[in-house]
Amino acid sequence: MQPYDLIFNKRNGGTLQPEEIEALIAGYTQGEGVTDYQMAALLMAIYFRGMNEDELGHWTRAMLHSGVVLEHPEIAGAKIDKHSTGGVGDKVSLSLAPLVAAAGVYVPMISGRGLGHTGGTLDKLESIPGFRTDLPIERFKAQVAELGCAIIGQTGEIAPADKKLYALRDVTATVDCIPLIASSIMSKKLAEGLDGLVLDVKTGRGAFMTELDQARQLAETLIAIGRATGVETVARITAMDQPLGRAVGNALEVVEAIETLRGKGPDDFLDVVLTLSAEMLRLAGVERDHQAALELLQGLIDSGAAFGKLREMVSAQGGDESVLDDLERLPRAKESFDVLAPESGFIHVLDALVVGRTARMLGAGRKAITDAIDPVAGLVLERKRGDGVDKGDRIAILYARDHSLFEPAAHRFLSGLVIGEAPIGEQPLLIDRIA
């Protein structure tokens, strides 16, 4: 295999053969025979030329097999996971994993950290004192088999090709390329050893894919990879124009996720949790009728079974389960600041990207993956899109350790708020389903 020839071929619109892809990914991951500059050139060629469905399947499979692929011989039931393409206030995994496990489905979830304006499940969970997201793989597998769910971070053993390729894409302007995004996501998720996968592809101002047609294209590409690798995959496209739920920020989002499993969550958040969970139950064969699945799941919240499963998961992963009974025991900011409506009217825009950036300014997010985050930082929205407000009404409460952050953060927040005179209609949250 001569990398030059393969770059030349792809640059000219040719197709890479399965054995060429395998040799490229293996050589690059092991640092043998494929240099960074050759892979960078190839990624750029892929950026412009794309990959057909076969190439993409082989590319993803090669990335997947660059590391450990989990097997769960001790689990007889279906292993199903959910992946979100990321957004603001998206704490779905925290409520969904225990809820779906309470329905008898096994959820081996390997999650990520927040970057940029988006939050990450691991950062949120780590605001529970003692909670460990770095369980060794064997303990992770044992917990899934025993309790039905576990959430950990990616280890060096899972899809190492993606780690190297992602770092290279990051510095060569090749991140925003649908086949490369899709293979990156699927190589990590498929390494969990799944029978089915539900995707939450976000679209709108605060999403990776701001336009609906891009989101659809990404969903279709992800599903095609699922098909090529024999894992049934279904996607929901959901709105991310404004934050999901009311809380944005790590410990604040944990509170909202816990409240939701106690039956007191915000409607929009609950809607997304239940819809995605119902898709998981369908893939697992537990309940194939969507409405019946929603009712079953609501029953598991009402009975306390889902909350009980969350308690088991927190305890098994070393977290202080007393926070579940007393939310005051979670880290809390000493300082807060009210953002008031600058005029009367109806909220037309509550820009998720701006809100995410505001939370990051307060300390809830990072600029680089090595930055520390502040678990107490963030904000809680008291009003959302479509709500009527009078001038001076409180729209959001900001939280931070350092009160000097409040003025600039409030200024940033207000730059993403549009109040109009006329009432506006609801925007659909569940935009499409692609299977």
User: Residues with catalytic annotation?
Assistant: 83, 162, 169, 184, 188
Taking residues 123 to 162 in sequence order and writing x for each that binds ligand URA by CB under 6 A, - otherwise, the string is ----------------------------------------
Which is nearer to ligand URA, 166 or 346 (by Cβ)? 166
Six-digit token string for 39: 């892979």
Q: How far is the CB of 85 from ligand URA (least distance, A)?
A: 7
Region from 52-60, 179-187, 218-226, 364-372 binding ligand URA, contact rule CB under 6 A? 179-187
Residue 209 in contact with residue 203, Cβ under 8 Å? yes
Cβ-based nearer residue to ligand URA, 209 or 274: 209
Beta carbons of 205 and 352 less than 8 angstroms apart: yes
426: DSSP letter: P
Q: Does 185 bind ligand URA (CB under 6 A)?
A: yes
CB 27, min distance to ligand URA, A: 21
106 vs 76: CA distance, rounded Å: 9
Closest distance between ligand URA and the C-beta of residue 67, in Å? Answer: 14
Q: How much of the chain is helix, strand and coil, in % rounded to 5?
A: 45, 15, 35
Whose structure tokens read 């039905």? 148
Nearest to 96 by CA among 240, 300, 236: 300
What is the smallest separation between the CB atom of 112 and ligand URA, expressed in angstroms? 7
- Distance, in Å, from the CA atom of 174 to the CA atom of 15, rounded to the nearest integer, reads 19
Scanning 33-41, 175-183, 318-326, 411-419 for contacts with ligand URA by CB under 6 A, the matching segment is 175-183
Place of tokens 């025979």: 33
| Minimum gap (Å) between residue 98 Cβ and ligand URA | 23
- Find the part of the chain contacting ligand URA (CB under 6 A) among 40-48, 129-137, 180-188, 244-252: 180-188
CB 110, min distance to ligand URA, A: 11
3-state per-residue secondary structure call for 227-270: HHCCCEEEEEEEECCCCCCCEECHHHHHHHHHHHHCCCCCHHHH
Q: What are the start-end ranges of the E strands in 193-344?
A: 196-203, 232-239, 247-248, 335-340
> Mask: binding to ligand URA, 288-317, rule CB under 6 A, as x and -?
------------------------------
Question: Which 3 state secondary structure label does DSSP give 381?
Answer: strand
Between 189 and 246, whose beta carbon lies closer to ligand URA?
189
List the x/- string, 313-342, binding to ligand URA by CB under 6 A.
------------------------------
190 binds ligand URA, rule: CB under 6 A: no
CB-wise, 220 or 295, nearer to ligand URA?
220
**Which position's Cβ is nearest ligand URA?**
184
- Report the chain's C-alpha Rg in angstroms: 22
Q: Which tokens belong to 85?
A: 């393409």
Measured from the CB atom, the residue of 235 and 258 that comes closer to ligand URA is 235
Assign 124 to helix, strand or coil: helix
Q: Token digits for 432?
A: 């499409």
Q: Does 111 bind ligand URA (CB under 6 A)?
A: no
225 binding ligand URA? (CB under 6 A):
no
Count of residues that bind ligand URA according to CB under 6 A:
6
Q: Please enumerate, as own/partner, the contacts of 1-10 that have beta carbons within 8 Å and a separation of 24 or more.
A: 1/27, 1/33, 3/27, 3/33, 3/34, 3/35, 3/38, 3/39, 3/42, 4/38, 6/42, 7/38, 7/41, 7/42, 7/45, 10/42, 10/45, 10/46, 10/49
Q: Least distance from C-beta 57 to ligand URA, angstroms? A: 17
- In whole angstroms, the minimum distance from the beta carbon of 141 to ligand URA comes to 22
Q: What are the tokens at 17? A: 């053969």
Q: Which is nearer to ligand URA, 55 or 259 (CB)?
A: 55
Q: Is 240 a residue that touches ligand URA (CB under 6 A)?
A: no
The window from 177-185, 279-287, 296-304, 414-422 that contacts ligand URA (CB under 6 A) reads 177-185
Does position 181 interact with ligand URA (CB under 6 A)? The reply is yes
Can you give the binding site for ligand URA, defined by CB under 6 A?
166, 175, 180-181, 184-185
